[in-house]
Structure 1
Amino acid sequence: MCDLAASSALNALAPPPFIAVIPARLASSRLPGKALLEIDGQPMVVHVAQRARAAGAQQVIIATDAQAIMEVAHQYGFLAVLTRPTHLSGTDRLAEVVEQFGWSDDTIVVNAQGDEPLLEPKLIQSVAAHLAHQKACAIATAAHPITAAAEIFDPNVVKTVLDKNGHALYFSRAPIPWARDTYQPDWSNLPAMSAPPCTVYRHIGLYAYRAAFLRRFPDLAAAPLEKAEALEQLRALWHGERIAVLITHHTPVAGVDVPADLARVRQHFAAIAQGKHQEKT
C-alpha cells in the first residue's frame, strides 16, 4: 500500500498578486487556427483570457506569433504582445514576455493555455497561491486523483508522483507508482482493474512560475528524460528545480486538441446557455 503526499485544499491559501500569460499560436497541426475558433460567439483564446481575469490576475497578456490573434485580443479589450514565431514551447514564449516587460524575479506568472476555454478561475488563482507559499519552489502545478484503469494505463494521461512535502518527484506517461504486487502477476488483466491499490495522480497542465525561473529556462538544455517521455516539465526536474503540486479532488474539464474536443466544449457552453434560458422562463 502506498500513501502519497497531498497538498493544500483549493480554498486554504490567500490569493497573491500574479500575472496571467496566455501563449496562443495560430498554427496547430491537429486543429488549425484553434485559438480563434468560435465558442459561444467568442474566439477560444478570449474565453481563456476572461477566465484568467476572473481569477484575479493583476494583468492578463495574450502572447502570440500571429497578428490576427493580436487584433482579436485588442478587439475584446485584452493586452497582447507579438512574440517570435520560432519558440518550441509555450514556456519559451513566456520567457520572452518576461524579458519584454522586465518583471522582477519574484513575480508570479501563470501560464494559462490558450486551448483551455473551461479552465476554472479558482484553480488558476489557487496554483498561483500555492507557488507563493512554496518559497523553495520555482514552479507550481496541479494534479487530481484518478481511479479508472483506462486512464492510469493511457499514455496520453500524464501521471505524477510526489514526495512527503508535495513536491513532484517525477512525471510520466506510464502508470506510476507501479504497484508491483497488484500489477505484475497478470498484465493482461490490468485494464479490468477495479481500483488502484494506491493513490494515482493525474497531472493538470496548468503552471505558475517565478519570473526568475522563466529567465533561466531558455538556457536549460533539454533533458534525456524530457525527450523520452515528451514532457517538458521533466527538464526543470532534471536541472534540480522543485515543482510544488497542488492537489484538487475536482476533475477539470479537458481542453481542446482535436475537432471532437471542440464539439464537446461547444455542447458544454450550449447546455449552460440553455439552462440559463430555462431559469428565466
Structure 2
Amino acid sequence: MKQQKTLGVIPARYASSRFPGKPLVDIRGKSMIRRVYEQVSKASLIDAVVVATDDERIYDHVQDFGGTVQFTEDTHRSGTDRCAEVAGRESAYDVVVNIQGDEPFIDPRQIDQVIQPLREQAQLEISTLAKRLSDEGTLFNPNVVKVVFDREQRALYFSRSAIPYLRDVDPSLWMDKADFYKHIGIYGFRRNALLAVSRESPGTLEQCESLEQLRWLEAGYRIYVGITQWETFGIDHPEDLDKITF
C-alpha cells in the first residue's frame, strides 16, 4: 500500500450548553484547544493538524499561537460533520482523524493507534479505540459508552447500557465473569468514508441511544476497534478543571 497522508482535525465550537467558551479556557497557562493541538501534533503518524471552528474568537486564538485553523459552517450537527467539511477541501489526505477538542491531555500514542490499522488494512473504513473497564460504577454509567466487537476487532454494537448482558448473573458479579470495554471517542476515517457518513441520515439505533457511530454501523460501515491501555480525561463541565492534578 502506498504511503498515506493523515490529517488530524479538532472540531471546536464556542457555544456549549454545559461549558460555554470551553476551548478557550485557561489550563495552567495554555488554552484547552492549544493543549489539544500540541498533543495531536506529537503523534508520529499525523502529517498535519487543523482546528475546525465556526467561531471567530477560537479562529483568532489558534492563529495567535501559530496553529492552523479553518472556518466551518455553524449548522453542523456534530464534530464529525465539521471534520467532513474540512476533509472536503483537503483532497491530498487519505486518512482523517477526528480528535475531540476537550481532551487536553490525550496521549499521542492513542492517535497513532487509531491511524495504524487504516494504514495496514486496505479494507478498513473507520477505526476507533476501546479500553477495558476496571470498575463497576463505570460499567453501569449511561454516560460511558460501551462497545462489543468480533474476533477481528470489528465493532458489533455500541451502547450506553452494559454489554454484553450476563444472563442469570447478579450484576455485582459481572466484572468478575466477563470483560467489558468502554469506547474512547477518537475516530480515524478514510477520507471518502468520512464524506459518505456525513451524508447519512440518523437511523433508528442512533435515535434510540443518541450515538452517531450507530448510524454508521446501521448503514453497513465497518469500524475497527483498537484496544488501548491509556486512559483519557475529557473536560465536560467547569468543575472538571478541579480534577487536573499536574
Where on the TM-score scale, by shorter chain, does this alignment land: which range? over 0.9
Q: Identify which of 206, 219, 224 aligns with 2:186.
A: 206
Asked whether 1:127 is paired with 2:114, we answer yes
Give distance in 2, aligned partners of 1:213 and 1:174: 28
Greater CA drift, 141-150 or 19-28: 141-150
Tell me the equivalent position of 1:7.
none
Q: CA deviation at 1:25?
A: 0.4
Give the AA of the match of 1:254: F
Distance 1:245 1:194, change over 3 A: closer
Contact 2:184 2:232 in 1 (8 A): no
3-state DSSP of counterpart to 2:175: coil
Residues 146, 183 of structure 2: 8 Å contact kept: yes
Q: Tell me if the contact between 2:32 and 2:104 (Cα under 8 Å) persists in the aligned partners.
A: yes
Q: Which residue, out of 89, 97, 102, partners 2:78?
A: 89
Tell me the number of residue pairs that the alignment of Structure 1 and Structure 2 aligns: 243
The equivalent residue for 1:58 is 47
- The Cα shift of 1:172 comes to 0.2
Identify the match of residue 28 of structure 2 among 40, 64, 80.
40
1:1-281 residue pairs with structure 2 within 5 A?
17-56=5-44, 57-103=46-92, 107-183=94-170, 190=171, 192-193=172-173, 195-250=175-230, 252-265=231-244, 268=245, 271=246
Pick closer, same or farther for the CA change 1:257–1:108 going to 2, 3 Å.
same
Say if 1:194 and 1:230 are closer, same or farther in 2 by CA, change over 3 A: closer
**Identity across matched positions, percent:** 40
Structure 1 residues 84-113: Cα deviation after superposition (integer angstroms, max 9, x where no partner) = 000000000011001122345xx1111111
CA distance in 1, matches of 2:134, 2:232: 17
Task: Provide the C-alpha distance between the structure 2 equivalents of 1:132 and 1:175, rounded to a whole number of angstroms.
Answer: 32
Q: 2: CA distance between counterparts of 1:152 and 1:198? A: 12
Contact 1:16 1:129 in 2 (8 A): no
Q: Distance in 2 between matches of 1:148 and 1:240?
A: 32
Measured after TM superposition, the shift of residue 154 of structure 1 is 1.0
| TM-score, L = length of structure 2 | 0.94
What are the Cα deviations for residues 182-215 of structure 1, in whole angstroms up to 9, with x where unaligned?
Answer: 14xxxxxx3x447341110110011111100111
Q: TM-score, normalised by structure 1?
A: 0.83
Equivalent AA in structure 1 for residue 11 of structure 2: P
Equivalent position SS for 2:198: helix
Q: Which has the larger radius of gyration?
A: 1
User: Does the residue aligned with 2:177 lie in a helix, a strand or coil?
Assistant: coil
Secondary structure in structure 2 of the residue aligned to 1:205:
strand
Unaligned runs of 5+ in 2: none
Q: Tell me how large the CA RMSD over aligned residues is.
A: 1.5
Name 1:4's counterpart in structure 2.
Answer: none
- What is the CA–CA distance in structure 2 between the aligned matches of 1:152 and 1:16, rounded to whole Å? 37
Runs of 4 or more, structure 1, over 6 Å off, are none
